[in-house]
Amino acid sequence: MNIDIILSDAIKQCINQVYGVTPADDQVQITKTKREFQGDFTLVVFPLLRISKKKPEDTANEIGEQLSKNQSIIESFNVIKGFLNLSLSQSFWADMLNAIAQATDFGFVPKNSSGKAKMVEFSSPNTNKPLHLGHIRNNLLGYSVSRVLEANGHKVIKVNLVNDRGIHICKSMIAWQRFGNGETPESSGKKGDHLVGDYYVIFDREYKKQIEELKAKGISEDDAKTQAPLMLEAQEMLRKWEAKDHEVYQLWSTMNGWVYDGFDITYKALGIEFDKIYHESETYLLGKKIVAEGLNKGVFHKKDNGSVWCDLQADGLDEKLLLRADGTSVYMTQDLGTAVQRFSEYHLDDHIYVVGNEQEYHFQVLRMILSKLAYNWSNHLFHLSYGMVQLPEGKMKSREGTVVDADDLVDEMKATAREMSQELGKLDELTEQEANDIVSMVGLGALKYFILKVDPKKNMTFNPKDSIDFNGNTGPFIQYTHARIQSVLRKAADADIEIPTTIGKVDISDKEREIIKMLHMFPGVVQQAGEQLSPALVANYAYELVKEYNQFYHDFTILKETNENVRGLRLLLSREVGNTIRQSMWLLGIDVPSRM
């Protein structure tokens, strides 16, 4: 039962009866009635004045009178200037709740043949450092968007492209050769990604020292950066890697293996998994082949130094480097290769890249180049551009080792969740295992919700303490409400109070009506979140629903209600709110507890 469709059809029929004309869809504008006015839904009358040829108030009253006379779902109406406020009948709201209660996976579209094949690429880490807070936003956003698209009936392929080659990887390798003394994750007791990341920081530190030494000899800063021995070594190592030098390749395989083991631990802690993992080391060659083909077709051109470019100046962009003078590839090279490979492999309808907003130009160029190469699916590449995340004290810098490590942050969130839960008595009477499970659920829920409730396009500041609060727009507040509802339902079962599968004729209060109205909105929110690729819509809907329910819980009795029909209504309503909270949180990758 879609209220918008039901009302729209009823209003069109009514206008035809009154004025002899059926209005177009865009002339029937229905909104939720503002809280300060009486009513459930409001018809904006102004677009209909061309049909009625009367004043707004007169038109609204005539339509309201006709609706009240012929439509049993309309209980009453009132007119405020050019707005017709409609109150729907008690029986309509009862039928609405019954329909929600009987629906399977309410709010979700079943997978079917009309669903599209959509690939979502996210995470995309470099193997020269561990995952950090910025990666966390990327991972949580990509994973949640994937679930939202699944809930809209699409076939979703979640992929990760690991940037496991390039000059940045060689920097860690050079530093380990120079300063590592054979250190391994086993000998150091460090996670492999942390160990390799430490050597990336060491490279930067020693590189800066060399730059200063060269500057002291009178060399300019720009020349010192290119002439520093460490940088020259890293560039030579990259050339050897692309030439498949055995010794370099073996070291690269060993150090990347350390990093992959570390990444797997972090992904598991975050509850993230992928359908397929691509490696840049395996895709860049296809990219180089595509560049060679484009060169032969005249789409690209080679400069005197041997570098290959695509001139996009006529399209309002710049020239784009595709192959360096020494023949080594750049990010664009492998992105061309992976795009072609994926559309061929999965016959995709759409490809979504979850990448920070600093790469917007990169994806403009990618689409343009693929279009020039005559790949007709190039306009089905979408860049989900998200804002940066930082801490209250400012930005993070991975080269300087000042990033917030993902593993440390997860541990901190769990520790903070334990501390606050104990202070509030939320862990009382739980076994140690139950307490540990709750702490993990709350800590991760706080982290995920705090990040996902922000519109992806916006920059954000993450404050761990603010995210773990059992009041306000936070994950723990929503989780606690779910646990509260489950407690009510358990007590009902213990008292042999049966929750009805449907409700009949019963008085429905304004507050109960408001909750049913909010439940009805859920499918629309899921659809809108899928269209906008914005889990924030789901997160903030869940908060508004929970806030509404908690006011109801405070103001009304449930189990102690003596009227059996009213009690049944409130139990059924509570159960469906709990189900919708669980569905909403699932879309965000958040688990909800049944006890707390």
In a domain, 112, yes or no: no
- Kindly state whether residues 70 and 25 are assigned to the same domain: yes
Weakest mean pLDDT among 384-398, 523-537, 575-589: 384-398
Residues 6+ apart with CB under 8 A from 424: 470
The total of other beta-carbon atoms located within 10 Å of residue 114's CB is 8
Q: Domain boundary at 67, 88, 109, which?
A: 88
Indicate the average pLDDT of the chain. Answer: 94
φ, ψ at 179 (rounded to 5°): -125, 0
Q: What is the mean pLDDT of residues 425-453?
A: 91
pLDDT for 399: 44
> Does residue 134 share a domain with residue 33?
no
Of 329 and 363, the one with more pLDDT: 363
Are 315 and 235 contained in the same domain? Answer: yes
Going by pLDDT thresholds of 50, 70 and 90, the confidence category of residue 111 is confident
Residue predicted with more confidence, 382 or 393: 382
pLDDT at 1 over 90: no
Question: Which two tokens mark 75?
Answer: 């209980």
Residue-wise pLDDT for 269-298, tens only, equals 999 999 999 999 988 899 999 999 999 999
Average pLDDT over residues 384-393: 86
Average pLDDT score over residue span 380-395: 85
Give the pLDDT score at 540.
Answer: 98
Q: Which of 132-141, 216-225, 395-404 has the lowest mean pLDDT?
A: 395-404
User: Among residues 588, 593, 527, 522, which one has the least CA distance to residue 103?
Assistant: 522
Q: Do 18 and 151 belong together in one domain?
A: no
Q: What CATH number did the domain enclosing 531 receive?
A: 1.10.730.10
| Residue after which a domain boundary falls, among 345, 361, 390 | 390
- Looking at the structure, do residues 383 and 470 belong to the same domain, yes or no? no
Look at residue 190 in the predicted model and tell me its pLDDT: 96
204-251 per-position pLDDT tens digit: 999 999 999 999 999 999 999 999 999 999 999 999 998 899 999 999
Is the CB of residue 594 less than 8 Å from the CB of residue 479?
no
- In this prediction, residues 77-106 reach a mean pLDDT of 95
Shared domain for 41 and 76, answered yes or no, is: yes
Sheet holding 276-279, edge to edge: 276-279, 155-162, 117-121, 350-356, 381-386
Q: Is pLDDT of 400 > 70?
A: no
Where does residue 428 rank: exposed (0-12), middle (13-18), buried (19+ CB within 10 A)? exposed
Task: Answer yes or no: is 596 within a domain.
Answer: no
Cβ–Cβ under 8 Å, residues 502 and 569: no
Identify whether 595 is part of a domain: no
Q: Could you tell me if 581 and 539 lie in one domain?
A: yes
pLDDT of 2 reads 81
- Percent of the chain at pLDDT above 70? 98
Q: Are 285 and 342 in the same domain?
A: yes
Averaged pLDDT, 314-320: 95
In contact, 42 and 85? CB cutoff 8 Å: yes
Mean pLDDT of 312-331: 92
Domain that holds residue 332: 122-390
Q: Do the beta carbons of residue 145 and residue 358 sit within 8 Å?
A: no
508 in any annotated domain:
yes
- Whether the per-residue pLDDT at 403 is higher than 80: the answer is no
Q: Are residues 381 and 444 in the same domain?
A: no
What is the pLDDT at residue 398?
44
116 within a domain of the structure (yes/no) = no
Q: How confident is the model at residue 396 (pLDDT cuts 50, 70, 90)?
A: very low
Q: How far apart are CA 138 and CA 250, in angstroms?
A: 31
pLDDT of residue 404: 82
In tens, the pLDDT along 510-553 reads 999 999 999 999 999 999 999 999 999 999 999 999 999 999 99
- The pLDDT of residue 421 is 84
| CA gap 158, 438 in Å, rounded | 28
User: What is the average pLDDT across 71-78?
Assistant: 94
Q: What is the pLDDT of residue 402?
A: 54
**Across 76-102, average pLDDT:** 95
Q: Phi, psi (5° rounding) for residue 76?
A: -165, 170
Contacts of 520 (CB under 8 A, 6+ apart): 1, 3, 96, 100
Residue 565 lies in a domain: yes
* Residues 385 and 419 reside in one and the same domain: no
For 296-356, the three-class secondary structure string (H helix, E strand, C coil) is HHCCCEECCCCCEEEECHHHCCCEEEEECCCCCECHHHHHHHHHHHHHHHHCCCEEEEEEE
- Binned at pLDDT 50, 70 and 90, residue 392 comes out as confident
pLDDT in tens, 468-499: 888 889 999 999 999 999 999 999 999 999 99
Q: pTM for this structure? A: 0.91
Backbone angles phi, psi at 327, to 5 degrees: 90, -5
Quote the number of domains for the chain: 3
Q: Are residues 63 and 22 in the same domain?
A: yes
Q: How far is it, in rounded angstroms, from Cα 1 to Cα 3?
A: 6
Element containing residue 31 per DSSP (H, E):
strand 29-32
**Do residues 189 and 321 both lie within one domain?**
yes
Question: Which residues are within 8 A (CB) of 7 and not within 5 positions of it... i.e. 6 or more apart?
Answer: 30, 41, 43, 86
Evaluate whether residue 104 is within a structural domain.
no
- Residue 230 to residue 14: CA distance in whole angstroms: 79
Last residue of a domain, one of 88, 106, 135: 88
Asked, for residue 400, whether it belongs to a domain, the answer is: no
State the average pLDDT over residues 347-356. Answer: 97
Q: How many CB atoms lie within 10 A of CB 563?
A: 11
CATH number of the domain that residue 49 is part of: 3.30.1360.70
CB contact set of 138 (below 8 Å; sequence gap of 6+): 122, 123, 124, 354, 355, 356, 386
